[in-house]
Chain A
Amino acid sequence: MSDRLTVLKTYKLYVGGKFPRSESGRVYEVNDSKGRWLANAPLASRKDARDAVVAARKAFGGWSGATAYNRGQVLYRVAEMLEGRKDQFVREVRDAEGISKSEAAAQVDAAIDRWVWYAGWTDKIAQVMGGANPVAGPFFNLSTPEPTGVVTVVAPQESSFLGLVSVLAPVIATGNTAVVIASERFPLPALSLGEVLATSDVPGGVVNILTGKTAEIAAPLAAHQDVNAIDLTGADAGLARELEVAAADNLKRVLRPQAVDFSADPGTHRLTAFLETKTVWHPTGSLGASGSAY
């Protein structure tokens, strides 16, 4: 082995397609499962959270307005990019969670496949969840699901990468934009995911990733008037209740924390949790009863 000194990475936030440090100038120490220092991660502030919401809102028009096909291809591109950087993520997940290399590899593989799963959903969810309604009158009536807007995602605390991908991908697949609060103890895979997203044709601001104290960052986001929904997966029971109360102020859609096996079939509930249904009526007129009998 050579004696070469390795170059360490400065982990930074991912906001609006850029990689800023926390405006607060704070960092915190991230250690592996044996207590050895891995890196310093940004300790994001309330201001960082608000900046992230501004970026997510700015990105919403373009991302929700993109064709479902386009969003599908972008999500698939994320899977392609991750496949090529698998080793890095296996190392980061192994170091963080203290699991074996093969266990970490299985998690990363599953996370890549999850992007593929959701890539396939972008142009199908409307066909499964929407449709024509046979109203009793001369009207065309069509219901279509639409993204709810800016979604705050409190990522799972234990599953630093597969869990993160499993909660993030469904939010953006349907056209929402996201502000993600990474696992407090295992934030590094999330910050590295930001680097992958930045090179995967995901427009800046569609995903914003914050690291730090979950409770400190989540509180202003749950209360933020320009956030439309919040996924509480990574909040403990007490925090989840507090955040849900704060979220009620502008009636955010809330996905409560629940026991999740991230290796199981994800189903559709994480997609539908952040959708609105829009129904359009239009008169069909009448051509007279005779019509045509051919």
Chain B
Amino acid sequence: MTSPFEYAPAPESRSVVDIAPSYGLFIDGEFTEAADGKVFKTVSPATEEVLSEVAQAGEADVDRAVRAARKAFETWSALPGAERAKYLFRIARIIQERSRELAVLETLDNGKPIKETRDADLPLVAAHFFYYAGWADKLDHAGYGKNPAPLGVAGQVIPWNFPLLMLAWKIAPALATGNTVVLKPAETTPLSALFFADICRQAGLPNGVVNILPGYGDAGAALTAHPDVDKVAFTGSTAVGKAIARQVAGTDKKVTLELGGKGANIVFDDAPIDQAVEGIVTGIFFNQGQVCCAGSRLLVQESIQEELLDSLKRRLSTLRLGDPLDKNTDIGAINSAEQLARITALADTGEAEGAERWSAPCELPENGYWFAPTLFTNVTQAHTIARDEIFGPVLSVLSFRTPDEAVAKANNTQYGLSAGIWTEKGSRILAVANKLRAGVVWANTFNKFDPTSPFGGYKESGFGREGGRHGLEAYLDV
């Protein structure tokens, strides 16, 4: 049966972005080969097409980049804040100008829908630079005392789920406060960081202030271990976060870690169901669920469970999975074959442990890495899928009877990054929010981000905050 709501394809044009066949490392203002000449391929997860060949940083390159950043630190940190601010404002404006190009690039390299890169990632990237630009000459007003000093060279390692946005979260506050950076993007999504290097060139940023080292985990480990790195900032898995915490033990390095999550989205019986359904969908299917603050556990009050699940399944059946460059696409590709295998294995474990699986009826493209939006019912707190971060479009549904039970279940996790509360009652929102051990609590909304708003986790979701006035602390000697 053909649906009366059939969409014609509406692909965003690729012609807006020009991807070179190969890219180097960006060290001291220049693109250069890796010392050992190694390269790796980056592919489009939606088609498995090779997009480009990228130099792969090793230990020697890390050392060279850290030296460049150290050298640049002297002059960069000595610049008046107002001048640093103007560099960052320039970067923000150039990102705005080139945002469509970067959105298409990000969608190609990451696999997420163009709707998201265009309307969420890129506007937030530009806003983040704009916001921290303004702080560069106002640090005396930030609440950390008079004339707070930068730390030095920041070694930053970022994940593949929001490549350019995570870069912005790392680089903008670091530069605003007078640090210089060496940043390692994820091996599956190096391209937008390399385009950012070109933006630094257009902005006239002094050489060595920003260095970009595409590479694998070994390069990341070499960077965070480098003795001349003063600050380590990492966003990624809890396992790697713990390894970094061990690695820096006994040093003077300042560390911030933004790690995994298993966010609870709590829906009370007085919640507006349709809005809650939209919030649940945003919470777990935004970016294919590859979001550390995803609302991956739905806690629904027992009396409305059936009604809510019916609505939710109906809504999930309308999600459009496919070509990420199509402007109508809701669900894009999983970022890599490796990630797809992890999601698949965890979902299989869910079934094996007795939870009931339901997937939205949608056709998966032949090439590329895809996973249909999926939810599990009959999930208990002991189930693996209720405990482990899946980092994919998989929702585990649990129920509760009283607010106390909801809070106890929500907090019953090693993580503490995000949570959601759905109810019409303001006092209940605040009472529940008070009890939740999570760094970000969304009420009657979910997955909202803003450069002025601090973000970060409790417990094993990491420590430190990014964004807002609070985000400055991570890069200041205070």
Contacts and interface: CB of A to CB of B under 8 A. Distances in A.
Contact of B131 (A123, A282, A291): A123
A1 interface: no
Nearest to A126: B452
A68 B403 CA distance: 36
B427 to A, nearest CB: 3
Interface string B133-169: 1111110011100000000000000000000000000
Contact of B86 (A116, A123, A285): A116
Contact of A116 (B89, B403, B430): B89
Given A69-B130, A128-B469, A282-B426, A294 B437 contact: yes
Given A116-B89, A121-B138, A69 B127 contact: yes
Nearest to B458: A294
Contacts of B136: 120
Contacts of B131: 69, 123
A113 interface: yes
Contact of B143 (A116, A128, A282, A291): A128
Contact of B404 (A80, A120, A288): A288
B141 A282 contact: no
Contacts of A282: 426-427, 430
Contacts of A283: 426-427, 430
B271 interface: no
A46 interface: no
A73 interface: yes
Given A113-B82, A128-B143, A123 B412 contact: no
Contacts of A127: 452, 468-469
A119 B430 contact: no
Interface string A281-293: 0111111101110
Interface in B79-122: 82, 85-86, 89, 93
B408 A292 contact: yes
Nearest to B406: A287
A72 interface: yes
Contacts, number: 89
B450 to A, nearest CB: 8
B134 A121 contact: yes
B435 interface: yes
Given A128-B143, A285-B430, A291 B138 contact: no
Contacts of B141: 124, 128, 268
Given A116-B89, A123-B452, A285 B431 contact: yes
Interface string A117-137: 101111110011000000000
B427 A291 contact: no
Interface string A68-80: 1100110010001
B54 interface: no
Given A128-B143, A282-B430, A287 B407 contact: yes
Interface string B397-438: 000000110011001110000000000011110111011010
A76 B93 CA distance: 10
Contacts of B407: 287, 291-292
Interface residues of A, number: 30
A272 to B, nearest CB: 11
Contact of B435 (A117, A123, A128, A291): A291
A117 B83 CA distance: 11
Given A282-B426, A285-B427, A287-B403, A124 B408 contact: no
Task: Name which of B134, B143, B451 has the most chain A CB atoms within 10 A of its CB.
Answer: B134
B430 A284 contact: yes
Interface in A255-294: 268, 282-288, 290-292, 294
B435 A120 contact: no
Nearest to A119: B134
Contacts of B451: 123
Contacts of A124: 134-135, 138, 141, 452, 469
Contacts of B426: 282-283
Interface string B428-461: 1011101101000000000000011000000000
Interface in A70-121: 72-73, 76, 80, 113, 116-117, 119-121
B432 A287 contact: yes
A128 B131 CA distance: 14
A113 B127 CA distance: 20
B149 to A, nearest CB: 18
Task: Name which of B130, B425, B468 has the most chain A CB atoms within 10 A of its CB.
Answer: B130
A127 B144 CA distance: 13
Contacts of A288: 404
Contacts of A120: 85, 133-138
Contacts of B468: 127
A117 B435 CA distance: 39
Given A72-B134, A283-B427, A116 B85 contact: yes
Contacts of A128: 141-143, 469
B86 A287 contact: no
Given A68-B452, A120-B133, 11 more contacts: A116-B86, A122-B134, A123-B131, A123-B451, A124-B135, A124-B469, A128-B141, A282-B426, A285-B431, A286-B431, A287-B434
7 contacts: A69-B131, A120-B85, A120-B135, A124-B469, A283-B430, A287-B432, A292-B407
Interface of B: 82, 85-86, 89, 93, 127, 130-131, 133-138, 141-143, 403-404, 407-408, 411-413, 425-428, 430-432, 434-435, 437, 451-452, 468-469
